[in-house]
Amino acid sequence: MIVSKGINFPRRSEQKGTTHMYTPKPSEVFPRRAETPPDDASQPSSTVGYTLAKPETFDAPERKSDSLAQPEVEYCLGSPELPIASYREQIVESVANHQATIITAETGAGKSTQVPQFLAEAGLGVVVTQPRIVAARSVAAHVQKEVTARMGDDFERYVGYRTAQEHGDSPENQILFVTDGLQEVRELAGHGIDKEQVLILDEVHEWNENMEVLVAWSKKRMAEDPNFKVVVMSATMESRELADYYSANGTRDVPLIEVPGRVHDVKKDESGFVSDKTIEFARQGKNTLVFAPGKNEIYDIIAEIDRAKIPGLTVLPLYAAQEPEEQNKVFGKYPGTKVVVATNIAQTSITIDDIDAVVDSGLERRKEVFNGVEGLYIRQTSQADCLQRAGRAGRTKAGEYVLARLGSIKHTAFRERDTYGTPEILRTLLDGTVLRLAKNGFDVEEFGFFHQPDQEDITNAKNRLKKLGALDNDNRITKIGRDMERLPVRSNYARMIIESHKYSPAVQSQLAAILAIQEAGGILRHLRGDRKNEKWRSAQDPSYNDSDMIKQLEVFIAYKNKRKGYLNEHDILVKAFNKSKEVMKSLRRVEQLNGEPLLLPTAQQREQLVKCIVAGMVDSLFLGEGSFSAYTGYGQRRICGNRSTIEPSEMIVGTPYDLEVPSKSSTRILPLIQGITNVPSVQMLKQVAPQLFREKMERFTLDSTNTTVVEEWSRYFDGRDLHQLERRESLPSPERRAYLIGRVASGAKFLCHDYTDLNRQVRTLQAKTKDPLDATTIEHADVKGMLEVALPLEVGSIPDAIAYLPPVELSDLVSEETVREITAKSPDTYMGLPLEYYDAQPHVSDSSDVLKSKERIANLPDEAMALPDNRVILEPRQKLTSAYFRYPTPQMPLIELRRQARGIPQHNIASSAIDHTATDEQLVELAAQAIYAREPYKPFELKLYGLTPAHINQARSRATEMVAESERARATIPQLRETLNERVEHLRIRWDNYEAELRRVTGMSMPLSQGNREYVESSLSFAAQAAAEPLCSHGSLKEAEHRLDRLEEHIRINEEHL
C-alpha cells in the first residue's frame, strides 16, 4: 500500500484574477516536532500537580466581510456546499499543530468525504479507516467521483480503497480508504503510516474491536513518535472523554472540533409498527429507509409490504451478505417510490441521497459473549444509534424519522435507551486481539484501551489460546501462536491450518477451501420448510456423514467453475461463494499453494482433514446425551443446528452459538452448535492436543474372561471426563493384590474350592435338626485371611489365586458322625419324595413332580407321611404374602393333601390317613400338631379313632413343648432380621456386579431375560420385606432365609457360566 505525496494543485485568486500553481510543502503546512527529545526529556517527570488539559473546541468561523482586503482562496478539492467546508482551515491547522484531532460532525456534514480531501490537498497522504467493506468501497467511489469532477480524468486514480479481499488501490493514490481490520494488522506489524501521512479513524462511535486497538495503538504511537498524526471522526461519540484519553493526563493538547450537520429538519416520532409505517410512507410517495435487525426480518418486512400491492413501488434489501452489484442498486434512481430495507450496514458512512423518511425498528442483531459462548442476539440500539439512523433522512430536504415496533419483539422507548451502545470489545471474544498483540510483544492487559475489557474476558481468551497451543503457561506466544497470527483467519481456523502442515499440499489446499467457506459464513442456501429439495444436496456424498465442513467442501468443488445463474438455481449463496473464492485465494497465497489443484478428498485425506478440524476446535468439544439430540460441553447443554447435514456421533466438535429469534410473545434463545464434526476416537484428541489430555487409573476390575485383574482408566480432556473407560494390563502392586484378595474372598464371582457348596451343606444339616450344630463354615474373612498370608504380589488372576487356597472337605467343618446321625434322622427323601427342611420341619420339595397333579397325590402310598421321630411331613413351602406375615397359617400335612385328593370325608381323617399303620408315637405327634395348630383337626375327632386319654395327654404335653420351641424361636427373630438384611445387601451387590460384567462382555444393554431379573428382584424384595415386617413370624423369616439360599445358588451358577 503506497500513498503518494506532494501533488500540485492549481489555485485561483479571485482578487488578482490570476491563476498560479500552489504547492504547499508539508514542512510549511505541517511543522514537525524535533526528532530528538529536548534535553530534559530523559528526566522522569512527575504527574503531581498536573491537571487534565481541556480539549480545544473550535466554533464555526464567522463569514468574512466582502470589504476585507484579504483574498479568498478557492480550493481545488472538496465541496463548499457542505457544512464542514466552513471548518476547513481549523481542521487543517489543528492537524498541523497537534498529533491528535477529534472531529464530531453530525450526519450530513460531510466529514467522511471532505476531511480526507482537505488534508490531501494540504499535502498529506491520507489513510482513512472504515468499519465495513461496503463503506470503504462506496465512500472511496464517492470521493473519487468528486475529485474527478473537479480535477478531470488525470486524477482518476487519486482515491483508492483496499480490504483484505478487495484491492481497489494503486501507487498513485493520495487518499486510501481501508477497513479498520486491515489497517490494524499493518500498524501492529510496523507497516503503518509514515511522517508524511495522516491516519483518519472514521465512524469511531461504532467501537468495534479493530477500532479499539487502533485508538489505543495511535495513543501509544503518539507517545513514541512525535510526527505521528491521527484524526478521530464520528457523528456521535464520547468526544470529550476521548479527548481526555488522548491528552495523556493533561500533557498533550487535543483539539475537539464540533461540526453541525445540514440544516434540513428531521421530524421525529415514536409510534406504530414498522411495516405499517413503511406502507404509510410509501403510499405518500416518500422514499423510505427501513432498519431491521437481520436478513430474515428484512424479508419478512418486504413480504408484508408486497402484500399491500402499492403501484410503482420498488422494494430493495440491503445487507452484508449481498453481492456488490445487488448492494449498489439501493443508490439508483427509480421512476416510482423506493423503499430500502436494511440492516445497520446503512447506518453509517454510506449515503442514499433520495431518502425522505426513516422507519427504525430500534433493533440490531449483534454478536455478544455469554459464559464464553459467542452468539447473535437481537438487541435494542442506543440513543446515539437511533440519532445516527435518523440522520439518514433530511440529507437534501426535510425528512421524517419514526421509531416503531417490530412485531412482538420487545420495544424500548427512546428516552429509556442507553446513551451509547456497548463497545464490541466488551461483548465479544478477545482471542484474535490477544494473539495479535502478543505477537508484537504487548500484553492486552497493559495495552490501555479506551474501553478496557473485563479481566475475566481477557483470562478466558488467554486460556482458549493456551488450549490451542498458541500461548504457553506464562502467556508468551509460542511458535504455533506466531504461525497462527500471520494467517488472516480467526484463531481456531488458524490452528487448523498449522495442523495441516503435517500432511500433503493437497490436504492443505482442501483445508484452505474449507476455512474460506467458513469465513464467508457458509455457501449453502437453506430453504424454509423444504430442506430435502435443496439442489446442492446432489453434490454431496450421501455415504459420508462425519463433518459439515467437509460436506460444504464437496459442494464448493462441484460448483467452483459454475456461473452465477447456475449457482442461484442450485441454492448456492453467490456472494458467499465468491467471497470464499477470494479468501481461499488469499490463504493459498499465504500458504504458497497456488499451483496445487483442488480435488475431492480421498478417504485418507478426509481423516486427515478431520484431525485438522479437531485440532482447531479442541476448546469446543461436546459430549452426547443418550440419543445425541442434545450435547453438553463446559457446563452448557446445546442442540445441533438444523442446518447440519451430518449424523452427529457421541463426541463432536463445533462452534457453540446462541441465536436469538422472535417468538409469539417476545424472543427466545436457541443454544446451538454449528459447523459440526464428529470426533472418531479419544486417541485423536490425545494426538492433536496432548497438553489437554489426562488419564487416571480409576479402579481394578476383571477382564472379559472374568478371571484376570486389569486396570480401568478414565480419560479426561480439558478437565472433562470423556466417559470412555479403557482397560489395561495391570502391574504387580499391593493395591492389585488387595483387590484380588477381596474379589475372591467376597464371593463376587464365587467362593473357591467349592467353599460355597460346603457352607450350603453345613446350613442344610443345621436345618435338619433343632439341636445346635457343632460345625463351622468358611466365611469371607476366613478366605481373606488365608490369601493375605499366602498370596504373592505377582499373582494377578483368580485361578492363580485359588491355587494358594487349601482344599477343604465337609469333614473339616463337621464331624462325620454328626453328619451320619443327622442324615439318618432326617433323610433327603421319603418314599421317593424329595424333602427339604426348615427349622427341622420336613417338607416335600416344591420341585417334586408328584404334587403337580391331583391324581398323583391320590396315588401316594398309604403311609403315615411322617419321619421315624414322628415329624409330620408337610406340603411344600408356599409363596408368602404380606397377609401371611400378619396371620400365619402352617402348611398342610401331606396326609391331608392325600385325603383331599382321594375325596375322603374329614371325620375319617385318622383311619384313612394312617390306615391303621401309625404307631402310638406317630398318633401322639399328629395329635400334638393338631392341638398346636388347632385347625383342621380336633382332639375329640382323633379320640374316635384309637386315641386314648393317655395319648391325648401326651399330645397336649407335646403341643406345650412346641409352643415353648416357638417362643425360643421368636427370641432369635432380631438376630435373624439382622442377618437377612446383611445377606440381602451382599447378594444385591453381587448380582449388580454380575449384571455389569455381563453387559460389558456381551455388549448388550439388557442381556438378561425379564423373568430372570424378576426372580432375583422378588427374592430380594421378599427377604427385605420379611426382615422389615414387625409381625413377621420366625417361620416366615426362615422361609426368607431359604429363598436367599436358593438365590445365592442361582447367582453362583450364573457366575460360573459367565
pLDDT at 56 over 50: no
Can you give the pLDDT at residue 734?
94
- CATH classification number, 266-426, choose in 3.40.50.300, 3.40.1410.10, 3.30.2130.10, 3.40.50.970: 3.40.50.300
Cα(672)–Cα(654) distance, rounded to whole angstroms? 9
pLDDT at 39 over 80: no
Cα(618)–Cα(653) distance, rounded to whole angstroms? 7
Q: Give the list of residues 6+ apart from residue 1010 with CB closer than 8 angstroms, or none.
A: none
Instruction: Write the pLDDT tens digit of every residue in 137-152.
Output: 989 999 999 999 989 8
pLDDT confidence tier of residue 35, bands split at 50, 70 and 90? very low
CA 389 to chain centre: 37
Instruction: Write the pLDDT tens digit of every residue in 601-648.
Output: 999 999 999 999 999 998 888 888 755 556 776 667 888 877 788 888
Lowest-confidence range among 23-32, 247-256, 556-565?
A: 23-32
pLDDT confidence tier of residue 29, bands split at 50, 70 and 90? very low
Average pLDDT for residues 866-881, to the nearest whole number? 72
Average pLDDT for residues 520-547, to the nearest whole number? 75
Phi and psi at 89, nearest 5°, equal -60, -40
Average pLDDT for residues 566-578, to the nearest whole number? 84
Cβ-in-10-Å burial (0-12, 13-18, 19+) of 597 comes to exposed
pLDDT confidence tier of residue 934, bands split at 50, 70 and 90? low
pLDDT at 275 over 90: yes
Flag whether the pTM goes above 0.85.
no
Q: Give the list of residues 6+ apart from residue 832 with CB closer than 8 angstroms, or none.
A: 850
Can you give the pLDDT at residue 904?
62
pLDDT at 911 over 50: no
Q: Which residue has the higher pLDDT, 1037 or 791?
A: 791
pLDDT at 927 over 80: no
Cα(557)–Cα(538) distance, rounded to whole angstroms? 13
pLDDT confidence tier of residue 1042, bands split at 50, 70 and 90? confident
Instruction: Write the pLDDT tens digit of every residue in 816-834.
Output: 999 999 999 899 988 888 8
Cα(471)–Cα(478) distance, rounded to whole angstroms? 5
pLDDT at 941 over 70: no
Q: Which residue has the higher pLDDT, 1016 or 710?
A: 710
Cα(766)–Cα(837) distance, rounded to whole angstroms? 9
Phi and psi at 200, nearest 5°, equal -105, 120
CA 931 to chain centre: 76
Helices vs strands, H then E, count in the chain: 36, 32
Share of the chain residues as helix, strand and coil, in percent rounded to the nearest 5 = 45, 20, 40
pLDDT at 885 over 60: no
Task: Kindly give the residue spans of alpha helices, DSSP state H, lying in 161-208.
Answer: 180-188
pLDDT at 132 over 80: yes
What would the grid cell of residue 769 be?
A: 435338626
Look-up: residue for cell 461496503? Answer: 134
Q: Which residue has the higher pLDDT, 585 or 73?
A: 585
Average pLDDT of every residue of the chain: 80
Can you give the pLDDT at residue 423?
87
The answer to whether the beta carbons of residues 788 and 738 sit under 8 Å apart is no
Task: Kindly give the residue spans of alpha helices, DSSP state H, lying in 319-439.
Answer: 324-328, 383-390, 431-439
Number of other residues whose CB lies within 10 A of the CB of residue 210: 24
Q: What one-character-per-residue DSSP string does 62-93 give?
A: PPPPTT-SSPPEEPSSS-TTSGGGGGHHHHHH
Alpha-carbon torsion (942, 945, 946, 949), positive or negative: positive
Architecture of the 53-63+83-259 domain: 3-Layer(aba) Sandwich (3.40)
Tell me the β-bridge partners of 720.
717
Cα(231)–Cα(111) distance, rounded to whole angstroms? 11
Tell me the β-bridge partners of 637.
632
Cα(561)–Cα(564) distance, rounded to whole angstroms? 10
The answer to whether the beta carbons of residues 700 and 712 sit under 8 Å apart is yes
Q: Give the list of residues 6+ apart from residue 42 with CB closer than 8 angstroms, or none.
A: none
Cα(840)–Cα(1034) distance, rounded to whole angstroms? 13
pLDDT confidence tier of residue 42, bands split at 50, 70 and 90? very low
Nearest to 282 by CA among 380, 169, 400: 400
Q: List, in sequence order, every beta strand (DSSP E) within 319-445.
A: 337-342, 357-360, 363-370, 373-380, 399-405
Look-up: residue for cell 476547513? Answer: 88
pLDDT at 373 over 90: no
For the chain, the distance separating the N- and C-terminal CA atoms, rounded to the nearest angstrom, is 77
Average pLDDT for residues 86-96, to the nearest whole number? 93
Length of the chain: 1058
Q: Which residue has the higher pLDDT, 634 or 3?
A: 634
Q: Which residue has the higher pLDDT, 199 or 321?
A: 199
Q: Give the list of residues 6+ apart from residue 428 with CB closer than 8 angstroms, or none.
A: 209, 367, 368, 369, 374
Number of other residues whose CB lies within 10 A of the CB of residue 619: 24
Q: Give the list of residues 6+ apart from residue 625 with CB closer than 8 angstroms, or none.
A: 631, 632, 637
Cα(458)–Cα(573) distance, rounded to whole angstroms? 35
Q: Which residue has the higher pLDDT, 992 or 948?
A: 992
Tell me what percent of the residues of the chain surpass a pLDDT of 90. Answer: 25
The amino acid occupying position 879 is K
Nearest to 97 by CA among 257, 220, 242, 258: 257
Can you give the pLDDT at residue 614?
94
The answer to whether the beta carbons of residues 201 and 180 sit under 8 Å apart is yes
Can you give the pLDDT at residue 2?
36
Q: Which residue has the higher pLDDT, 213 or 565?
A: 213
Phi and psi at 373, nearest 5°, equal -115, 125
